[in-house]
Structure 1
Amino acid sequence: MTTKSTQTKDPGTLPGEPRVETPLRIGFILREHFSMVTFTAAVDTLVTTNLITPEPVFVHFTIGTGSRTVLSDLGIEVSTGTTLDSLMANPGHVDMLIVCGGYRSQLAPEPYLLNTLRAADQKGIRLGGLWNGGVALIQAGLMEHHACALHPDNHAYVRENFPNVKVSTNAYEIEGHHATCAGPVSTLEMMLKLIGELLHNPHIVRAVREILSCDQVAEQVGPMPLNMGDDPTFPEALQTLLALMRANIEEPLSLVELAECANISRRQVERLFQNHLDTSPSRYYLELRLVHARRLLMQTNRSILNISLASGFVSSSHFSNCFKDYYGITPSEARHVRQ
């Protein structure tokens, strides 16, 4: 992969200088089927920062988990600069390691990767995760009682298997030496935040943002909420109802309970769903639980009975019937397709 030329620097464009004695080394661990657009969004912030500073402040390199070539989600093979084996044999100086995942990246633990992350954490090296790259940090036991931002497709897997991890509703999270984000857009924001923390120079962050976000409608202020598919123009009561449903999958709330929590009448609940979502509250809730169940089927090896209970169904037979009505195949068939 090529990077931008560094011959266009204009040292006089920024007040102040970054407080870095030597370039900070950032390693990107590429998992199979990693998201290319997410990875390049992260790298672009580092390269652009180097373009507007008098001297390069970042050096980035790529790491394969098992080989020197990794297949991206676009079907493009990327040659990495090193592998985990080589990195651990000759660790040298590393300031941060970022695990790059993607929509089709497998969630199965890779012991050597997890051991690498644990060793790096013990040395005080910053760690990050892009898309579902944060799952590796969780599996390594580094996110207990900490907030972790992930792609929504991975929320069910983490909540079911790592109950002590706080699955964030923000698009990115930075806690101490750990940074995680849910996708390409939040990668840009997370990296800008990290650059600000690493260089202690808001002028650089502002300049990089102006270059890379020139077509952004409005600058994001404060935490980025993770868009779960809801229209932000929905009435506040409807947004409250949708949040309640998402937070109560295993033990679904009744329509009366939902209405009481939102401080509106049952009839108002029904009217909100019909007017804005063209469906009934019960149908929407059922589909939400079925989507949750499908994610568990595809991402875990839990039994169908356990998945049905975790998705709020009283029996596996009722779950199977509802699942087939919605997806056209049984839960067993869906799991077989995954294999």
Structure 2
Amino acid sequence: MLGSVPRELPQKIGFIIVPGFSMIALIPAIETLRLANRLSGRELYRWLLFSMDGGPVRGSNGFELNTDGDLDKASELSTVAICAGVDVHKVNDKALLSWLRRMDRKGADIGALCTGSYILARAGLLDGYNCTIHWEQLAGFAEDFPDIEVTTELFEIDRQRFTCAGGTAGIDLMLNVVAMQHGHELAAQVADQFMHERIRDQHDHQRISLPARLGVRHPKLLSVIELMEKHLEEPLSRAQLARKAGLSTRQLERLFRKYLFRSPARYYLELRLNKARLLLLQTNMSVIDVALACGFVSASHFSKCYRDFFGRTPRKERGLPAHPTPGEPLDEDGAPPGIAAAG
């Protein structure tokens, strides 16, 4: 298991990068290992980069990284991690999935940085394991893989699987590994080099707190927003929100207009539309399924609300034709005509 004391040094870790991978997820994880080597005065870790064909890979920021070889050259390693990016739902390479399954049969520790969890899930390697993924991908991942236990943790180490939310969370994952394998003192020295004020554990939140995000500290207003965020698929009525927060509907309206400059209904709608956009961009869900997952019962009404807010229809968001195939009994977004929406 990653985090156990290695049998021999240096411990070799292979990072598999796919097109569009997130550089900010990969580099901090590797730099943590580099600094552990430097500060310990020993080669505790050795890292290698691999791609599916052994060639260079372009990241989401446009930079290319050369690799040490293809997947066959990574097959002798006992620890490998997939690093992906925002378009991970488009990565469905059968050779990569088969290779991962072979590595699993050999007993390798297999992990993921950022959105790489999607690829492990497609390979069937997260069934029965706790895993995490970047908060922006959580909704889409849960929709695509409803039977997998995905958490909001910063990282997860569960037996032969390790997953990380991406961004600077790679630092904390590897700092915890260094601490478990070579002592907390070394991990603290590495964190100091990063000017990382503390080593976060897996239970730290991925996102900054709701008050910090909104610049609002009114407890009842925040409790209503938390309720909204938890009930996007089946929206609560204004009266239900007010009652649960111990407010009258008039007080609820006043709070939203005073602090957020919009009505509760408008704020709720924006939350649902922003979730819908993430699902459209990060999953292969149909437009009608996205609409239902965000509390709309009509694809046509969803399309109108989406267009009014974002300036384009859901189909255009995906770069799809604006109209379905002639002769199909579908509305403009490729879904059966619906009834009046719960908007």
- TM-score of Structure 1 vs Structure 2, range by shorter chain: 0.7 to 0.9
Gaps of 5+ in 2: 323-343
1:130 aligns with 2:117: no
Cα distance between partner residues in 2 of 1:150 and 1:52: 30
Deviations 1:218-244 (A, max 9, x none): 664662212178333634444433332
- What stretches of structure 1 of length at least 5 have no aligned partner? 1-17
Tell me whether 1:231 sits opposite 2:211 in the alignment.
yes
What is the distance in 1 between the residues matched to 2:290 and 2:132? 23
3-state DSSP of counterpart to 2:99: helix
Q: In the aligned structure 2, how far is the partner of 1:161 from the partner of 1:55? A: 43
Aligned to 1:231, what secondary structure does the other structure show? helix
Q: 2:57 aligns with which of 65, 70, 81?
A: 70
Offset of 1:258 from its aligned partner? 2.4
Contact 2:303 2:313 in 1 (8 A): yes
Task: Sort the Cα spacing of 1:165 and 1:106 in 2 relative to 1 into closer, same or farther, 3 A.
Answer: closer
Mean alpha-carbon deviation: is it higher for 255-264 or for 65-74? 255-264
| Partner residue, 1:153 | 136
Identity %: 34
* CA spacing shift, 1:329–1:86, aligned 2, 3 Å: same
* Cα deviation 1:33-83 (Å, max 9, x = unaligned): 112222110110111011122421101000102342101122122110011
100, 115, 139: which is aligned to 2:83?
100
Paired with 2:90 and 2:139, the residues of 1 have a C-alpha distance of: 12
User: Which secondary structure does the structure 1 equivalent of 2:319 belong to?
Assistant: helix
Say whether residues 1:205 and 2:187 are aligned partners: yes
Q: Measure the CA separation in 2 of the matches of 1:279 and 1:146.
A: 42
- Do the aligned partners of residues 241 and 178 (structure 1) sit closer, same or farther apart at CA in structure 2, a change above 3 Å counting? farther
2-structure distance, mates of 1:174, 1:265: 45
Cα distance change on mapping 1:77 and 1:19 into 2, 3 Å? closer
Of 175, 196, 210, which aligns to 1:192? 175
Structure 1 residues 248, 82: CA separation in 2 closer, same or farther (over 3 Å shift)?
same
The one-letter amino acid of 1:83's match is D
Alpha carbons 1:259, 1:269 under 8 Å: kept? yes
Q: Secondary structure at the match of 1:26?
A: strand
SS in 2 for 1:52: helix
Task: Provide the rounded CA distance (Å) in 1 between the counterparts of 2:202 and 2:50.
Answer: 32
Bigger shift: residues 321-330 or 124-133: 124-133
Aligned residue type for 2:174: M
TM-score, normalising length: structure 1? 0.83
The residue that corresponds to 1:182 in the other structure is 165
Specify the alignment match of 2:95 in structure 1.
112
The answer on whether the counterparts of 1:234 and 1:276 sit within 8 Å (CA) in structure 2 is: no
1:11 is aligned to: none
Q: Do the aligned partners of 1:241 and 1:262 also contact (CA within 8 Å) in 2?
A: yes
Please provide the CA RMSD for this pair. Answer: 2.6
Aligned residues: 315
